[in-house]
Structure 1
Amino acid sequence: MKYGDTVTGHDPIFRCVLGALEQWASLMASPVTHNGTGREAVIVVNSLRKEYEDKKACSMFKKKKKVAVRNLSFSVKKGEVLGLLGPNGSGKSTVMHMISGDMAVTAGEVLLQGCEATAPPGQGGLGHCPQEDALWPELSVRQHLEAHAAVRGMRKEDAAVLISRLAKDLDLQKHLNTPARRLPAGEARKLCFALSILGNPTVMLWDEPSVGMDVKGQRCLWKAMQTAVRSKARAAILSTRSLEEAALCDRVAVLVAGQLRYIGSLEELRRRFGTSYHLEVKLKDAGQSDAIHTEILRLFPHAARQERIYSLLSYKIPMEDALPLSQSFSKLEADYFQNAHTDLVFKDSFSIPLQLNRISGLRSTACLCTLCNRYVD
């Protein structure tokens, strides 16, 4: 494999096929303008639908279909990051696979810069960080980056400079010579993300890229994301269950059972569908429960205790008591709670189950709120 040469072999990682480069070259000639905004849409998803045969269903006359994605439509403009939010099984990864061309669509179409994305190229045009780590076990981090740089047609000298910068930005320098099979889960995700932005692709797809990372790793990754979309000629879709990660996006789209239930800003999502916040206090000394309860009511006068188990206190806090959140976090990080040896979990009470990861240093868990009637047909 030579640097700068066009790779025409069929490879499961690069997904390069004969004629793909010519197909991608035509993308720039057919721009699609986003509805009335004057900004070109880099990604257009139009009435996308995906059906599977339901193997569990039994019928004598015809096979029943399981619908994973139902008539989904949206667009992503130049310089924009769109977040796909939703619980497990909502269809986020299915959508990402159809946009990348890894999965055939049942109906509808995906347009990348105006051309149908039936066979997206592996060189230059599209970068994909799938949910599953697509890595060669025996190749090192450096070898992965060099191989992908070669496939994208980069000169060896340019690739070396870019690889060095990526390794520094993502804190991968000490792992450059480590085989992929020996990488911790978080470092493997960093490598997959690095491969998705290598060579400045026009379209970037990131499917839960920060899963398995510690807080420091997440911060490095999010900073790299912001740098990657700094160019106004590029666009990205970020699939996530983390509201903190979704804050990086210009807009968010909420998927529930394969259907688009909301698209717009994260702030508007909170305003329209946020009802309250839930605070859980896990006590290491059950004898402190009365004192902790008194302190919670002092900080949040309208807090209502929902549950009291031996070592767990649960409260529902109205939004007007909790906002602004920065003040709430400061209150909960005060010396009183630190000295009381408590674990605090602060959760958005959305009408969709979403995860809040490491907000303001507080340890958090998955929000188990059920779907609100506003999301039920």
Structure 2
Amino acid sequence: MNGNEFGRLFRVTTYGESHGDAMGVTISGCPAGVELSVDDVQAELDRRKPGQSMITTSRGEPDAVVINSGTLDGYTTGTPIGMVVQNKDARSGKYEPYVTAPRPSHGDFTYSAKFGTRNWGGGGRSSARETVNWVAAGAVAKQVLEQSEYDIEVKAHVNQIGDVEAPPVTFEEMLEHSEENDVRCAHPETAEKMMEVIEQYQTEGDSIGGSIYFEAQGVPRGLGAPRFDSFSARLGQAMMAVPAATAFEFGLGREAREWTGSDRNEDWEFDENDDPRPVGNKHGGIQGGITTGQPIYGEMTLHAPTSIPKKQRTVDWETGEEKEIQVVGRHDPVLPPRGVPVVEAMLYATILDFMLLSGRINPDRLDGQVGEYDTPYHPSSPDNE
């Protein structure tokens, strides 16, 4: 199976299944000299882990991460970073009825059709549990960017659940309010209405979809390349890889179909440094696939969780029978609240990859120096005996 790696220089390779022994990620291309601790990664994983509230799955996973390579004395060494999260509360037995009877709208049949086999416990590799690896990698990318000379900051929040949509909020409001409620909506009044909607569908044994708004500030101009390596294309790949993603947009997004060229086009002016800049930012910080230096913003849509306790119909390809099933398990009634740290992680990883490709951050050493011995060889060290 291919498709388990993301990035060009900041390369993230993941492994693991939902009900396997562990989830894991290897990161190649992280510069040496980045201060990195387990706590830095764990803080992000805690935002994504299950069991946070009544509107998330009750699966009891602590998602405790172990960094087993690529760091020494709290700093990255430039070698591959390996991280592992053990699965502690896997219960594959509940999925035995679906070995040859695919659950509606899951990857059960398509995986079996392609590979002739699959790990059927909890969806295996197709499960959204795999995003624990992405968040761990994003935490590393976040540390690199925060410790660089660039003031890059990323934030996201849930801007819609069902037909309940939050009004536009500022970046500062997202920073201040998005972690204050279980929905992770930066508009408190709307968050309360979203909770009511989620609880209603949860009571009915159903689920509901929603969307996540994201924004990145401080990203320099000039990141990206034409066509297939454009910043928007690569960011779209990152966002659309998120399980349950059905749409990605930036700037005006789908609203652009309603705008005339004269309304959407933005004039140019000189900034405080006498550099050209667009007047406004309807393009979402990207023009011609290359960043403008303005805030990058957009939205991604997640469909309703497909594992629901309502009765549904399927077929058993082994017996040839049609039958009614009821998916029993521990599943989220809505995905965007736990999807916020996933979206942020993929945005951090995408930005860092382009920063390394552009040479703005040294791929080898965060301090930008090359070819100097900073750590002397100690012949008396037990490791050298």
TM range (shorter): under 0.3
Larger relative contact order (CA 8 Å, sep ≥ 6): 2
Question: Larger % of strand: which?
Answer: 1
Structure-2-length-normalised TM-score? 0.22
Structure-1-length-normalised TM-score? 0.23
